Amino acid sequence: MSAAGWAEVALRVLDTRYPHKSGHLAHGPHDVDVTPTRLFPAFHGCLDWHSSVHMQWSLLTLLPALDGDLRGRVIQLLDARLTAANLAAETAYLRRDPGFERPYGWAWAARLAATAHESRTPDAARWAAALDPLADAIASATVTWLPRLAYPVRHGTHANTAFGLLLLHDAFGRLGRADVVAEIATHARRFFAADTDYPLRWEPSGSDFLSPALCEAALMQRVLPDFADWLPRFLPGLADPDCPLFAVPQVLDRADGQAVHLVGLALSRAWQLRLLATATATATATATAAGGEKARRWRHAADRLVESALPEIADGDFMATHWLVSFALLATG
């Protein structure tokens, strides 16, 4: 689908206030009003907070490819959501409940801030300024949380530690926060550097939208100087032409919010296979032909995975359309 088509999807779902899943932790009987626009003036719509964040990231990412009335509608929505007052309320909420949306929503919010700062769209400067306090709160929360995390979360949904750290490492690197980047790298190595012989036969679980194996590999590619040696120890099966991670996940009920996660799994696998292919091709540019062949195989698998998901991104049930554009942009970017 075209950029315009995906932007239309994002606009539609961001304007869909219900159904809504708040994730709100009530602190007493005075604190049970979960009206989306009251709790989350910037990040409502799209079923839940994190999806609203990353679908707004999708609109910002798509904006350079848009023109005319559609471009104006996107700017109007982002102008209405990403105000200083709205982001102050979002920041206060996160500071009051520091476990809220950790780490997945944090990671997407930091990515949104980084993309706003890098955007050449003149309107983005005010969005970036409004997002700065939220990004700062997430930076502070990240460096407080990581030393207290005894073990990483390794399943394939929102709490996956490697995925959150991957996006946070990238976003805070782009935002110039070397302190946060260093803290993430330290703990990523603590959690994962000794891992070997990952059991690929255990993937996927029935509601995964992330591959724990590929999330970990993509993160370690960013933080390990000896990544080229680490990867075959961790994922020896990735060299197999029939690696299970290349297979299109089977979805039996595309209106079930948990089952349709598997469509997103196809897209996140595709994205991370391409990241690994780029890293491998670079590392083997002057090395073996086998390394180049592996990279080509991973890119081919990524193409098939993306193709399998395309019908659901715009024309699927709301349980798919409220979030898949973001992962499609990762997979095709």
Stretch among 17-31, 217-231, 250-264, 284-298 having the lowest mean pLDDT: 284-298
pLDDT on residue 290: 59
Residue range 144-160, pLDDT digits in tens: 999 999 999 999 999 99
**Does this model's pTM top 0.85?**
yes
Domain residue ranges in the chain: 202-211+244-333
Instruction: Work out the average pLDDT over 244-269.
Output: 96
Q: What is the pLDDT of residue 266?
A: 98
DSSP string over 281-295: HHHTTTS-HHHHHHH
Q: What is the pLDDT of residue 291?
A: 64
Percent of the chain whose pLDDT exceeds 90: 93
- For residues 78 and 59, the answer to whether their CB atoms sit within 8 Å is yes
pLDDT for 239 equals 87
Predicted confidence at residue 1, as pLDDT, reads 64
Q: What is the pLDDT of residue 287?
A: 53
Mean pLDDT in residue range 259-264: 97
pLDDT at 280: 77
- pLDDT (tens digit, 9 = 90+) per residue, 280-330? 766 655 555 556 788 899 999 999 999 999 999 999 999 999 999 999 999
Q: Which of 1, 121, 104, 3 is nearest to 54 (CA)?
A: 104
pLDDT at position 58 over 90: yes
**Mean pLDDT computed over 228-233:** 96
Q: Where are the alpha helices (DSSP H) in 210-260?
A: 212-223, 227-234
Q: 23-30 contacts: CB < 8 A, separation 24 or more? A: 23/48, 23/49, 23/100, 23/101, 25/97, 25/99, 25/100
Q: Which two three-digit tokens encode residue 293? A: 């062949």
Q: Would the pLDDT of 35 be above 90?
A: yes
CA distance linking residue 75 with residue 123, whole number of Å: 8
Q: Is the pLDDT of residue 216 over 70?
A: yes
What would the pLDDT profile of 69-99 be if each residue is shown by its tens digit?
Answer: 999 999 999 999 999 999 999 999 999 999 9
User: Which pLDDT value is given to residue 283?
Assistant: 60
- 329 token code pair: 């942009």
What is the reported pLDDT for 294?
87
pLDDT for residue 34 is more than 90: yes
Tell me the pLDDT of the chain averaged across its residues: 95
Res 293: pLDDT: 84
